[in-house]
C-alpha cells in the first residue's frame, strides 16, 4: 500500500521581483573596432524565425567606441573583419560588467553572420527586447568643429556629438581636452593689443593665452570654471602707427577738428578721430554735436530747426545762454534751436546730423512762432470734463495717455489711462464689434489717443483664431484737449509741443 499524503497549505502567490538594474538604464561603452579592422555594432530588438542574415534583424545601429545607455539585458551584436576572417561577438547589458557590457559568446568565421549565430541569439533575447532603445547616445563627428569645453578645434572623428538632430554639442573624446597652446597664430577677435594697447584688427595679430589658475569670477557650480582666455597682441614688434581704437565704418565727424570722416578713414577712441593728422582746414568754431534726426531724408546745410538730444560724454555741454535751450529732464535731455552743419544718410536708417547752436538772429523766426503757439495754447481757467468714446474693432482697442513731459527714449512721457467698457452694443459674443471704450478728459491737460479704423484685413478672423496678437486694422492717432466749451478738440503736433513747453508756466 502506498501511504497517502495530504496536501499542505498552498504557498502564497508572490509578484515577480524585478532586478534593480532592470529599472534604470545601464551606461555602457560600445566595444571599439580593433585597429586595422572594419566592423559594426547593432542593438538587437527582434530576430524573426526565418532570419538567416543580419539584414533581417530588427534593431538600432550603435557607434563603436562611444557611450550610450541600454536597458538591462539588451543584446549587442558586433562583427570585426580583418582580412578574410570575421570575429562575431554577442554582449549583454549588465551594470556589473566592465564597460556595462558582459561578453555572452564569440565566434570566428570565414563568412558573415549566419543562421547558427542567429538561432543562438534568438534564444537569448529578452521578452521585452522589442522595446529596447539606446539613450544618451554619443556620436562620431564627421565634420570639424569647436569643443564646447575648451573652444579648440576638433578634427573629424576625434570628438563626440551629444544632444539631438539640429542641436548637437561637440566635445573632445572621453572629456580629455588637449592642453591649450600658449600662442595662437591669428586672433579671432579685434581688440586692443595686450602689450601696447593699440588696436589689433581681426586676423592681423596673434592671440596670447592669459594664465588664469584661479576660478573665473563668472564661474558657477553648474557650468564650472570658464576656460582660459586669450588676448590679442601684435606680431613682434608692436607697430607704432596703429590706431588706438576700431576703425570707423560709417560717416562720422572728427572730435578734434569737427570735419567729416569718410568710412574707414578714422578710428574710435573716446569719439571719432582722423587716422593720422587732421586735414589742413580750420576747425569748426564753437561747440557742435552729432545726433539722429527724427525723420529720414536730405537735410540741407544751414537749415534752422529745433532738436532734442542728450550730449554724449565726449561732446561739449550745451551752453545755457544759447537760444531756445530747455533742460527737459534730470538725465540731461536738452532742447535747442540749432543750425545744420552737415548730414549723412544710411540706407534704412535715420539721418545723422552735425549741428551747432543758432545765433539769436537765426533763431528769431522759430522763437516768434513758438511764442504765438504759446498764446494759442494758453490753459483755460475753467474746469470742464468731457467723455471721449471710441469703438473696439476686431480685437484692436483704442487707448488714451496723458502727456506729462519729455522722454529721451520715446520723445514724450505718457501715463496710460484706464478706460471703461460698454458691452451693451456688442454685436457678437466675442466682443469683436460694438464694444465701446470710454474715458473722461479734463481741461488744462494734454492727451494723446489712438483708435482703430475700418475696414479690417480680409483674413482677420483666421488670424484671431490662430492667436495673432498684432493689429488687423489701421491706426489713427491725435493729440486731444478739452476746450472752453467743454468739447474735445484735436491739436497738431506743433500745438502739442508748444503747450508742453509753456503749459506749466501758464498754470504756475
* Helix (H), strand (E), coil (C) string for 228-260: CCEEEECCCCCCCCCCCCCECCCCEECCCCCCE
Question: Would you give the DSSP letter of residue 97?
Answer: S
Q: Report the Cα–Cα distance between both ends of the chain, in Å, rounded.
A: 129
pTM of the model: 0.57
Q: What is the pLDDT of residue 182?
A: 86
Integer Cα distance of 471 and 86 in angstroms: 69
Residue 453's DSSP bridge partners are 474
**Residue 226 above 50 pLDDT?**
yes
**Residue 465 above 70 pLDDT?**
yes
Dump the DSSP string for 34-60.
PTT-EEEEEEEEE--TT--SGGG-EEE
Mean pLDDT (whole number) for 149-176:
79
Q: What is the pLDDT of residue 498?
A: 82
**Residue 215 above 60 pLDDT?**
no
Q: What is the pLDDT of residue 479?
A: 95
Which of the two residues, 19 and 230, has the higher pLDDT score? 230
Q: What is the pLDDT of residue 489?
A: 92
Q: What is the pLDDT of residue 378?
A: 67
Question: With bands split at pLDDT 50, 70 and 90, how would you rate the model's confidence at 7?
Answer: very low
Mean pLDDT (whole number) for 206-234:
65
8 A C-beta contact, residue 358 and residue 337? yes
Integer Cα distance of 259 and 250 in angstroms: 14
Q: What is the pLDDT of residue 380?
A: 62
Count the neighbouring beta carbons within 10 Å of the beta carbon of residue 145: 17
Contacts of 385 (CB under 8 A, 6+ apart): 440, 441, 442, 443, 482, 486
Tell me the percentage of the chain whose pLDDT exceeds 70: 89
Q: What is the pLDDT of residue 228?
A: 60
**Residue 502 above 80 pLDDT?**
no
Question: With bands split at pLDDT 50, 70 and 90, how would you rate the model's confidence at 504?
Answer: low
Integer Cα distance of 92 and 124 in angstroms: 10
**Residue 461 above 90 pLDDT?**
no
**Residue 356 above 80 pLDDT?**
yes
Which of the two residues, 228 and 304, has the higher pLDDT score? 304
Q: Give the cell for residue 100.
A: 556595462
Worst-scoring range by mean pLDDT, 94-103, 167-176, 188-197? 167-176
Mean pLDDT of the chain: 84
Most confident of 23-32, 212-221, 296-305, 414-423: 414-423
Q: What is the pLDDT of residue 381?
A: 62
Integer Cα distance of 212 and 225 in angstroms: 10
Exposure of 321 by Cβ count < 10 A (0-12 exposed, 13-18 middle, 19+ buried)?
A: exposed
Integer Cα distance of 75 and 60 in angstroms: 11
Mean pLDDT (whole number) for 296-319:
88
Question: With bands split at pLDDT 50, 70 and 90, how would you rate the model's confidence at 167?
Answer: confident
**Residue 505 above 60 pLDDT?**
no
Dump the DSSP string for 248-303.
P-S-EE-TTT--EE-TTSEEESSSEEESSSPPSSPPPPS--EEEE-SS-S---TT-
Amino acid at each position: 500500500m502506498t501511504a497517502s499524503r495530504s496536501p499542505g497549505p498552498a504557498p502564497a502567490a508572490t509578484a515577480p521581483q524585478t532586478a534593480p538594474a532592470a529599472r534604470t538604464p545601464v551606461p555602457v561603452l560600445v566595444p571599439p573596432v580593433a585597429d586595422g579592422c572594419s566592423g559594426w555594432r547593432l542593438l538587437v530588438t527582434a530576430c524573426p524565425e526565418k532570419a538567416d542574415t543580419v539584414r533581417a534583424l530588427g534593431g538600432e545601429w550603435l557607434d563603436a567606441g562611444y557611450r550610450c545607455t541600454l536597458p538591462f539585458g539588451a543584446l549587442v551584436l558586433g562583427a570585426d573583419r580583418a582580412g578574410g576572417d570575421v570575429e562575431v561577438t554577442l554582449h549583454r547589458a549588465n551594470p556589473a560588467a566592465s564597460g556595462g557590457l558582459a561578453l555572452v559568446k564569440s565566434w570566428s568565421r570565414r563568412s558573415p553572420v549566419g543562421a547558427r549565430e542567429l538561432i543562438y541569439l534568438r534564444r537569448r533575447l529578452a521578452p521585452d527586447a522589442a522595446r529596447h532603445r539606446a539613450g544618451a547616445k554619443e556620436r562620431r563627428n564627421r565634420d570639424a568643429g569647436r569643443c564646447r569645453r575648451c573652444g579648440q578645434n576638433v578634427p573629424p572623428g576625434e570628438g563626440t556629438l551629444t544632444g539631438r538632430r539640429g542641436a548637437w554639442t561637440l566635445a573632445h573624446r572621453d572629456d580629455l581636452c588637449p592642453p591649450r597652446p600658449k600662442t595662437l597664430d591669428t586672433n579671432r577677435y579685434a581688440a586692443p593689443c595686450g602689450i601696447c594697447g593699440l588696436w589689433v584688427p581681426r586676423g592681423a595679430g596673434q592671440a596670447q593665452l592669459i594664465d588664469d589658475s584661479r576660478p573665473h569670477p563668472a564661474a558657477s557650480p553648474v557650468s564650472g570654471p570658464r576656460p582660459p582666455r586669450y588676448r590679442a597682441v601684435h606680431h613682434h614688434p608692436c607697430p607704432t602707427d596703429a590706431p588706438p581704437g576700431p576703425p570707423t565704418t560709417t560717416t562720422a565727424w572728427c572730435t578734434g577738428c569737427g570735419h567729416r570722416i569718410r568710412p574707414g578713414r578714422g578710428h574710435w577712441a573716446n569719439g571719432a578721430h582722423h587716422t593720422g593728422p587732421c586735414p589742413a582746414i580750420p576747425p569748426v568754431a564753437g561747440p557742435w554735436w552729432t545726433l539722429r534726426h527724427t525723420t529720414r531724408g536730405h537735410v540741407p546745410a544751414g537749415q534752422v530747426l529745433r532738436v532734442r538730444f542728450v550730449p554724449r560724454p565726449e561732446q561739449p555741454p550745451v551752453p545755457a545762454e544759447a537760444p531756445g535751450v530747455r533742460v527737459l529732464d534730470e538725465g540731461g535731455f536738452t532742447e535747442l534751436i540749432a543750425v545744420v552743419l552737415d548730414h549723412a544718410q544710411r540706407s534704412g536708417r535715420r539721418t545723422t546730423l552735425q549741428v551747432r547752436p543758432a545765433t539769436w538772429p537765426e533763431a528769431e523766426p522759430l522763437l516768434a512762432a513758438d511764442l504765438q503757439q504759446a498764446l494759442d495754447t494758453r490753459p483755460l481757467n475753467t474746469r470742464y470734463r468731457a467723455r471721449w468714446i471710441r469703438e473696439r474693432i476686431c480685437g484692436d482697442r483704442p487707448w488714451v495717455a496723458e502727456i506729462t513731459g519729455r522722454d529721451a527714449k520715446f520723445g514724450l512721457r505718457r501715463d496710460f489711462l484706464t478706460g471703461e467698457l460698454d458691452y451693451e452694443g456688442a454685436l457678437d459674443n466675442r466682443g469683436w464689434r460694438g464694444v465701446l471704450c470710454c474715458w473722461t478728459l479734463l481741461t488744462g491737460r494734454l492727451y494723446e489717443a489712438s483708435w482703430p479704423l475700418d475696414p479690417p484685413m480680409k483674413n482677420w478672423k483666421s488670424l484671431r483664431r490662430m492667436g495673432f496678437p498684432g493689429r488687423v486694422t489701421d491706426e489713427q492717432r491725435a493729440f486731444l484737449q478739452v476746450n472752453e466749451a467743454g468739447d474735445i478738440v484735436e491739436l497738431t503736433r506743433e500745438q502739442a509741443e508748444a503747450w508742453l513747453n509753456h503749459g506749466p508756466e501758464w498754470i504756475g
